[in-house]
Amino acid sequence: MAFEFSGVLVRRNGKTLLVREKHPAAKNLWSFPLGFVEKGEDFKSAAVREAREESGYDVRIVRKAKSITVGAREFRSAHPFLRGKVHLTVFFGKASGKRPGKAALVAGWFAEREIQPLDLRGEWEKQFLLRKRSR
């Protein structure tokens, strides 16, 4: 069984919006806003809701980025019942305003060079957060 999650990459002025996780499975790790798609909710609505809840920013979806499947253990979810696979759909979005004091998590804007040394929620996030460089 695959569990459905949705998230949004919000970039502004060369920086990406990240939140610091607080649940035990990923405590103090950084991630873009994402979360469980609730019953009757579509992926876009879930991504917008999660961004608002976690960061305090209102977000408008611009387009779909990518969908991936990740093992539940590597995903590090707050949902202890997750076993098997997690299906994650990620969108690109634009922040349209922050609601003072409304963020559930610590949020910040990070340039790519600042993201590279951060402890991320999972290796799978690098494909979204870091540009591939030719060597």
Write out pLDDT tens, residues 1-42: 578 899 999 999 999 999 998 877 778 889 999 998 999 999
Residue spans of alpha helices (H) in 1-135:
43-55, 72-75, 112-115, 126-129
Domain spans, the chain:
2-129
pLDDT value of residue 79: 62
**Does the pLDDT of residue 117 top 90, yes or no?**
yes
Average pLDDT over residues 63-75: 88
CA-CA distance, 109 to 100, in Å (whole number)?
Answer: 16
**Does the pLDDT of residue 78 top 70, yes or no?**
no
pLDDT value of residue 80: 62
Architecture of the domain made up of 2-129: Alpha-Beta Complex (3.90)
